[in-house]
Structure 1
Amino acid sequence: MDLLKARAMLDNAEVIHDESTVQRAVDEVAAAICARLADKYPLVLCVMTGGIVFCGQLMTKLGFPLDFDYLHATRYGPETQGGKISWRTAPWTSVRGRSVLVVDDILDEGVTLAAVKESLTRMGAAEVLTAVFADKINGKHKPIAADFVGLTVPDRFVFGFGMDAGGVWRNLPAVYAMKDEA
């Protein structure tokens, strides 16, 4: 994608959740996680690359000791439709016997997050909890429900706050969707 196409994409999008709504959601998820995990000394795993913005902001609001690592599993790559799961990096930190919190950007169809949870459980995690910034309301049966959800989004292609559109706009502080085509 080039600069002009990226700017045109944003110009042809509408705000779904503004920055203040996004920040309130991060605060609410952080409070719920603190209530659940403050006495566990958990391992927080960020799902790359989409989860990085949410995870980074969320961690600054978790007032308890934790370990941090990441994993990279995806079904998307540069496409907007999910495909086969690609495992790029497993966590370097052992999950055995740990309370693990997996943080991701969006729960779309849930296939990737379910596979991640199953894999971490097989690796010996004592418990695996999941936090997603956005849960897409798409009417599909999902193999997993997130334990902590920031916001819901409509069944449209959304981007911003960690979620990309053609590789760009993860850095937006709000959530956008392409305007409906007539």
Structure 2
Amino acid sequence: MSQESYGYSNRDGIWSISWHDFHGICQEIALAAANFNPEIIIAVGRGGFYPGTLIAHLLRTEIYPVRFTRRKNDVVLHEKPQWLLEPPALVRGKRILVVDEIASSGQTLLGVKQKVEEMGASVVQTAVLYAHTWGANIPDYIGLISDALLLNPWDREVVVDGCLQFHPEYIEALAKQNLTPDKSLRIPASPINLAKSPI
């Protein structure tokens, strides 16, 4: 299955999200969701683990991971999301905030919300860092609405043959806009020598 199921041909420009941007979006979601006072955050992995964890820290609330995805080992394998890790039974009777990275088609977010409701949660709200215009009506909380190609700070670079390189999926997505990645899109991180490593 190709990455084209993600509709990269529909993207308009690029938006490089920095770690600073990410933190600011999560702060605003946490402030907005504080009135809801979630008792449990359900973070949808893998992309939703990042905002889910930070928002859980900001709200000082419990967090549990789920995996409802079309991917395995970063490769799209399924047309529709599949359950790899379901929510815990303790969602019953609780106020739940489901957190994911993005709302595009909405299949993942709606599927997780429905599962948590079926398990007896008292009320469920949803939050995402980003939404495309065609998915903006789905979440309760949205950090940014944009149809640009959103480049996350956590998956922009991957290890290939022992070296960091720009993520091949992003390279393919940029090519749809006749763009190629340059150094300005890399994460400006300073290398740190490890204090300990078996190699």
TM-score (norm 2): 0.65
Deviation (angstroms), 1:155: 4.8
Equivalenced residue count is 156
In structure 2, relative to structure 1, the CA distance for the partners of 1:32 and 1:104 (3 Å cut) is same
Which residue matches 2:43? 46
Aligned pairs (5 A) from 1:130-141: 130-137=126-133, 140=134
Distance 2:151 2:78 in 1: 15
Which residue matches 2:152? 160
Distance 1:132 1:82 in 2: 22
Instruction: Tell me, yes or no, if structure 1 residue 113 matches structure 2 residue 109.
Output: yes
Deviates more, 1:16-25 or 1:74-83: 74-83
Deviation (angstroms), 1:165: 6.1
Deviation (angstroms), 1:159: 3.1
Which residue matches 2:144? 151
In structure 2, relative to structure 1, the CA distance for the partners of 1:33 and 1:155 (3 Å cut) is same
- Sequence identity, in percent? 25
Distance 2:95 2:15 in 1: 36
Structure number, greater radius of gyration? 2
In structure 2, relative to structure 1, the CA distance for the partners of 1:161 and 1:18 (3 Å cut) is closer
Residue 74 of structure 1: which of 64, 69, 78 is its match? 69
Aligned pairs (5 A) from 1:1-182: 15-37=15-37, 42-63=39-60, 66-77=61-72, 78-79=74-75, 83-137=79-133, 140=134, 142=135, 145-156=138-149, 158-162=150-154, 164=155, 178=174, 180-181=177-178
Distance 2:141 2:78 in 1: 23
Deviation (angstroms), 1:95: 1.3
In structure 2, relative to structure 1, the CA distance for the partners of 1:115 and 1:149 (3 Å cut) is same
Distance 2:117 2:82 in 1: 18
Verify the 8 A CA contact 1:16 1:153 in the aligned structure 2.
no
Q: Which amino acid aligns with 1:147?
A: D
Distance 1:143 1:15 in 2: 17
Deviation (angstroms), 1:166: 9.2
Distance 1:119 1:21 in 2: 31
Deviation (angstroms), 1:50: 0.9
Distance 1:166 1:46 in 2: 22
In structure 2, relative to structure 1, the CA distance for the partners of 1:134 and 1:161 (3 Å cut) is farther
Distance 2:54 2:115 in 1: 26
Higher RCO structure (Cα 8 Å, ≥6 apart): 1
Deviation (angstroms), 1:82: 6.9
Structure 2: runs of 5+ lacking an equivalent: 1-12, 165-172, 180-199
CA RMSD of aligned residues (A): 3.3
In structure 2, relative to structure 1, the CA distance for the partners of 1:80 and 1:91 (3 Å cut) is closer
Q: Which amino acid aligns with 1:26?
A: C
Distance 1:154 1:59 in 2: 27
